[in-house]
Amino acid sequence: MTSPVNRPTMNLAEADAVYAPLHRLSPPDGIAIERDVPYGPDPRHLLDVASPPTVAAMRPVLVFVHGGAFVAGERRRPGTPFHDNVMLWAAEQGWVGVNLTYRLAPRHPWPAGGDDVLRAMRWLQNHLSRWNGDPNRTFLFGHSAGAAHAAEALVRSATDDAAAAWAGTLLLSGIYAPAAAESNPGREAYYGADRHLWHARGASDRLSRCDAPVAVMWSEFEAEEFAQQGKKMCERIREIGGTAHATLVAGHNHFSPVLSLGSGDRSFARLVRQFVAHPAERAR
């Protein structure tokens, strides 16, 4: 099945309505779910974890960071299958699936989101044995604002020994150089009202080290700035000697790749599976 979504102007509610009927109403048999696991002191420092039946071998881990224009978003949205669908899909692959929430602007402006993602990744490194997850095969996956926060976590991890703490990063439709992006209320709430500060707060120009591969993705049917931002991030990673894969997600808009995971639409799922299996290889 190919993506049923091909309009860039479709909002989240419309995309939800397309994909929600394609998801099951209850978790697959044998999938264990643990909710509201704290990884830090803030009320939003929480994880949900889905894991398949216990096996002897340690499993890969996919950690998902939701979007929400920096001021909104949840790791699970009541009344919908989202974003439980991401961690449940990961568990169906035989992996450990993790969804997390982080602090939101305007109460918590830059760099709170990136700090929270890095805090969560460090916490998981010390606690994955609880779900038989493999710290050496842990992958960070951020979408939209979550991708910006995941990129910031890469920047911050590069300043210490945490730089190689996870095996790869997937960045989908994020803002990495805010000074080169359009201004909107969410970005102003997070990066600040003074745009002169935005250059120094973008991840792409500040990244100094990138030990693990990064898949930088954007969708065919979304605003052009996401492609421009993704290409800029790839260029920076390659400049500092890292491995970056630039990938156009065909047939999708800004929301639909994440919503498609676990549905009959496997176009985006194939890209994620390939990266987790062979992170050093370019997605095809």
CATH number at 142 reads 3.40.50.1820
The answer to the question of residue 149 being in a domain is yes
Question: In this predicted model, which residue has the larger pLDDT, 9 or 247?
Answer: 247
Q: Which domain holds residue 63?
A: 12-277
The answer to the question of residue 4 being in a domain is no
Q: In the numeric block, which tokens belong to residue 170?
A: 């997937």
The answer to the question of residue 100 being in a domain is yes
**Predicted model pTM:** 0.96
Structurally, the chain folds into a number of domains equal to 1
CA 142 – CA 144 distance, rounded (Å): 7
The answer to the question of residue 108 being in a domain is yes
Give the pLDDT band of residue 11 (cuts 50, 70, 90): confident
The answer to the question of residue 283 being in a domain is no
The pLDDT of residue 280 is: 85
Contacts of 175 (CB under 8 A, 6+ apart): 145, 147, 148, 181, 187, 202, 225, 229
**What pLDDT, in 10s, does the model give residues 133-151?**
999 999 999 999 999 999 9
The pLDDT of residue 6 is: 58
Q: In the numeric block, which tokens belong to residue 171?
A: 């960045």
The answer to the question of residue 5 being in a domain is no
User: Is residue 105 a contact partner of residue 112, using CB atoms and an 8 Å limit?
Assistant: yes
Report how far apart, in Å, the C-alpha atoms of 70 and of each of 96, 102, 127 are. Answer: 26, 10, 27
The pLDDT of residue 165 is: 77
Amino acid at 28: P
